[in-house]
């Protein structure tokens, strides 16, 4: 009888222990599943944000290319663009002069003419005229041209086939 009592009495303890460990395993499994699911959700949400950003950037690039393609102010060579720019500056047509710059730099170029004196303008034009015959170098893809003397002038070839001044 004692053996039967021990077996009967031991069973509830083992049963409670198994239920406790089973519950603990279930809680740990649920916690890991929740953490894993949350991580996957955050990864998915991040992928969606990256995809939306890529779409916005693609649209912006297409819009920018369309604007550049429509922009025909400039020459067929960097020197021709510089000559057109100098001519507009000498005439005092700073709006036209700014159009020989890349689209992103046109406003800054136009704003830079505020308060320029005739003396400063004459020196600037003289230096620019020296740049017409200055040696320069093309980029490996022939879409950029830079002269460094007597003044740094950086040009960029637009999709429309005209050269624009990026910076002076």
pLDDT digit string (tens) for 111-123?
A: 999 999 999 999 9
pLDDT digit string (tens) for 149-163?
A: 999 999 999 999 999
Length of the chain as a residue count: 168
Q: What is the percent of the chain where pLDDT is above 90?
A: 77
Cis peptide, bond prior to residue 150, ω within 30 of zero: yes
Q: Phi then psi for 138, rounded to 5 degrees? A: -90, 155
71 touches 162 (CB < 8 A): yes
pLDDT for residue 2 is more than 60: no
Domains of the chain, by residue range, sit at 71-167
pLDDT for residue 5 is more than 60: no
pLDDT digit string (tens) for 79-96?
A: 999 999 999 999 999 999
Task: For residue 12, count CB atoms less than 10 angstroms from its CB and return exposed for 0-12, middle for 13-18, buried for 19 or more.
Answer: exposed
Spatial CB neighbours of 113, under 8 Å, sequence gap ≥ 6: 94, 97
């Amino acid at each position: 009888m004692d053996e039967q009592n021990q077996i009967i009495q031991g069973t509830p303890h083992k049963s409670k222990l198994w239920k406790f460990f089973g519950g603990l395993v279930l809680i740990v499994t649920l916690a890991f599943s929740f953490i894993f699911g949350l991580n996957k959700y955050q990864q998915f949400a991040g992928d969606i944000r990256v995809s939306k950003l890529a779409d916005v950037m693609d649209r912006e690039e297409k819009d920018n290319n369309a604007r550049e393609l429509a922009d025909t102010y400039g020459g067929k060579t960097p020197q021709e663009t510089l000559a057109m720019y100098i001519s507009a500056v000498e005439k005092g047509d700073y709006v036209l002069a700014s159009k020989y710059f890349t689209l992103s730099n046109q406003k800054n170029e136009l704003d830079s003419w505020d308060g320029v004196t005739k003396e400063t303008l004459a020196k600037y034009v003289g230096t620019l005229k020296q740049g017409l015959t200055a040696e320069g170098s093309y980029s490996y893809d022939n879409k950029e041209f830079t002269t460094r003397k007597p003044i740094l002038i950086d040009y960029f070839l637009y999709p429309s086939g005209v050269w624009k001044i990026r910076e002076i």
